[in-house]
Amino acid sequence: MAPSAGSPLSRRNSFSYTVDKQQGRLPLDHMPFLYVVKHAILAIQNTAGQRRHCASTYVKGHYPPIIYTLPMPVLYILTGLSFAGKSVLAQAIRAVRGIDVVDPDAVGRDRGLGLNGEFLSDAQWSVIHAAAERRTAEALEQGRDVVYDTTSFTKQQRDALRALAHDHGAASVVIYVAIPRDQAWRRWAMNNETRERALVHPDDFAMVADHFEPPGSAETPLVYEAEADMRDWIDRHIPHTAVPRQRMRLTDA
């Protein structure tokens, strides 16, 4: 799958998120050190019964980010090989948690593209991803969580989606659906016979597999191993959320 053209790949040199509180507005880069540490510890100490969203941001342009906890909408960014099971997991999250799913492949099919597994050009993928990102932005603006169901097979693509979330006052969490390439290929071949899901051109499969960049520890991904119990995984990693939730405000530092 081709990267989305026009997606934001660069960030402001310096900015801070501002959290609306009853007592006023507090820029993160002006928070006392112990306050930040306290909230980082709270994020690490999540439990199934008392779970908080862990949001990350670039502070003064540095990476990896400071971790803190806030009740804001979340963009869940799926990543993994074709036929890893990303769409199945996305639909399970929607069924269990009621979270919106935006699927660029479905957006393409709505436009009559990729219906028969034909190879799509970079220009066609750019149009598809632009439409999918508009849908995502609208949901985040309304304070709703979104699962973005795509391969996002390079860090650059995931960075663009993280920037999309930040620009619309949301947090972002990467979900890596891990599977060996040979197992994914067997699923691809079986689907060519059963046609249980839309066909994928072999060149598209190979392009993703050949250039796939698994998310490293700096991206702090949630990892779902193929064949694991989905309901158990969702219960442990995807919290119940109130809808809609308050977005964060972006202010230039």
Using one digit for the tens of pLDDT, what is the confidence trace for 70-105? 468 999 999 999 999 999 999 999 999 999 999 987
Is a pLDDT exceeding 50 seen at residue 18? no
Average pLDDT of the chain to the nearest whole number: 74
pLDDT of residue 106: 80
Is a pLDDT exceeding 80 seen at residue 218? yes
pLDDT of residue 81: 94
pLDDT of residue 114: 60
Please give the structure tokens belonging to residue 189.
Answer: 């071949």
Q: Go through the domains of the chain in sequence order and give each one's CATH number.
A: 1-253 (3.40.50.300)
Q: What's the whole-model pTM score?
A: 0.67
Nearest to 117 by CA among 201, 61, 56, 227: 201
Angstrom distances, CA of residue 56 to CA of 3, 158, 221: 23, 14, 12
End-to-end CA, the chain: 36
Nearest 5°: phi and psi at 37? -60, -45
Give the whole-angstrom CA distance, residue 199 versus residue 105. 11
Q: Within 10 Å of residue 98's Cβ, how many Cβ atoms?
A: 12
| Residue where the block lists tokens 């795509």 | 150
Is a pLDDT exceeding 60 seen at residue 22? no
Is a pLDDT exceeding 50 seen at residue 36? no
Q: How confident is the model at residue 219 (pLDDT cuts 50, 70, 90)?
A: very high
Nearest to 137 by CA among 22, 1, 7: 7
Q: How confident is the model at residue 123 (pLDDT cuts 50, 70, 90)?
A: confident
User: Cβ distance 154 to 211 under 8 Å?
Assistant: yes
Of the two residues 64 and 227, the one the predictor is more confident about is: 227
Give the whole-angstrom CA distance, residue 49 versus residue 164. 30
| Residue where the block lists tokens 């769409």 | 87
Give the whole-angstrom CA distance, residue 19 versus residue 140. 17
Q: How confident is the model at residue 182 (pLDDT cuts 50, 70, 90)?
A: very high
Q: How confident is the model at residue 52 (pLDDT cuts 50, 70, 90)?
A: very low
Q: How confident is the model at residue 38 (pLDDT cuts 50, 70, 90)?
A: very low
